Amino acid sequence: MTIDDLTRRAEEYLRKARVGAADRERDRELPHALVRELATAGLGSFRVPKQYGGPGATVRQVFEFIIALGAADSNIAQSVRPHFGFVESLIASPVEQERVRWFPRVLAGDLFGLANGEIGAPNGVIRTRVTRDGDGLRANGRKYYSTGTLFADWVSVSAVDDDEQRVSFVVPTDRPGLSLLDDWDGMGQRLTASGTTELTDVAVAPQDVVERQPAPGLRSLTTAFQQLFLAGVQAGIARNSLADAVWFAQQRSRPIKHSSATRSVEDPYIQHAVGEIGARAYAAEAAVLRAAEAIDRAWLAGEDPAPRTAAAVEVAQAQFLATESALKSAELIFDVGGGSATAREHNFDRHWRNARTVANHNPRYWKAAVVGAFLLNGTEPPTTGLF
């Protein structure tokens, strides 16, 4: 499959995905069929290298699709973030056998979910455990924020072993002892299947265990990719806010009584609101694509640490800007119309709710502070999962 083939499929898919997105979100109808269609169309395989039968897309090419997907339906875009992150982790893996095993599954249309985060303990603490069971392991624990797992064929899980060492493994979602609960109750991103994953004596074979860590001391480009993915979703939300603002001004809005305009599209304040949304959406997309190019440069540079640090800084800047742009764009849409813009039938508030929910994954003020410390003092960004 070539990039041109994938691009044509993506265009056709995006036309379908945007239809009814606001209604699905309002009525909480999980898009099982649409997510499955994304996978069977091969749209989860952008980054699979050519030598493994994939299209070998650049990071920028992936994010052109992610932004467009976020604009069509940000719930779908967020739900496949773990899948795209898993593919990226395979590219970075030091273990060739993992690529040999998993890339064919990606190309066959399998989707990968994630069960990593936990609640009820300090951030980053893992209480899910694996214990030795013959040649394999048994996993027990409870995960939350299991984004995309209800749509997935496989789930990637993190745990700790008896030596308190972190272990990551991938098992099929129908593995006995694995329960997937649709209990995500966030105010936004309601259809991302981000609920609870319960593990009760789940068998983990030796081949299920994966190596996720980069070479010692080497900053992970997979982390930069995952963080930029959040910014890509935000850029998509900003673009979608713009589309709804233009539609409402053209089709439904009326000028305020004391306006000199006879049509909303002629009202200078409505023009200003739509223009500002457009500028913010443009800035968010430009920032995300520029940061994607920084990740591409870092990949080409191999293990040179400088381009990896530069990519981490650019991604943090893009996250801050894309988040601010999405939140403000989602607010400004209500300046395009009067009280009727708040009608539930339009569900315009989803843009802000979704942007605010994505923003809460990783506080944007930390991003700005880390960038400032780097620019002022040359302080390296952290190497945690947030950078």
Cα–Cα distance measured from residue 186 to residue 65, given in angstroms and rounded to the nearest whole number: 25
Q: Could you tell me which CATH class the domain 129-210 is placed in?
A: mainly beta
Contact 267, 333 (CB under 8 A): no
Tell me the per-residue pLDDT of 169-207, one tens digit each, with 9 for 90 and over.
999 999 999 999 999 999 999 999 999 999 999 999 999
Whether pLDDT at 261 is above 70: no
Contacts of 20 (CB under 8 A, 6+ apart): none
- Rounded to two decimals, the pTM is 0.96
Q: Which residues pair with 112 in a beta bridge?
A: 154
Tell me the per-residue pLDDT of 316-344, one tens digit each, with 9 for 90 and over.
999 999 999 999 999 999 999 888 899 99
Of the options 3.40.50.1000, 1.20.140.10, 1.20.1600.10, 3.90.550.10, the CATH number for the domain spanning 221-377: 1.20.140.10
Q: Where are the domains of the chain?
A: 3-111, 129-210, 221-377
Tokens matching residue 311: 């990519």
Q: Residue 1's Cα: distance from chain center in Å?
A: 24
Contact 149, 197 (CB under 8 A): yes
CATH superfamily, domain 3-111, is Acyl-CoA dehydrogenase/oxidase, N-terminal domain (1.10.540.10)
Can you give the pLDDT at residue 174? 97
Tell me the per-residue pLDDT of 291-311, one tens digit each, with 9 for 90 and over.
999 999 999 999 999 999 999
Contact 21, 73 (CB under 8 A): yes
DSSP of 18-44: HTTHHHHHHHT---HHHHHHHHHTTTT
Which residue intervals of the chain are DSSP H helices? 3-18, 21-27, 32-40, 59-72, 74-79, 81-92, 96-107, 221-251, 268-300, 305-332, 349-359, 364-377
Q: Which residues pair with 159 in a beta bridge?
A: 167
pLDDT above 90: percentage of residues in the chain: 88
Quote the crossing angle between the two packed helices 305-332 and 221-251, to the nearest 10°.
20
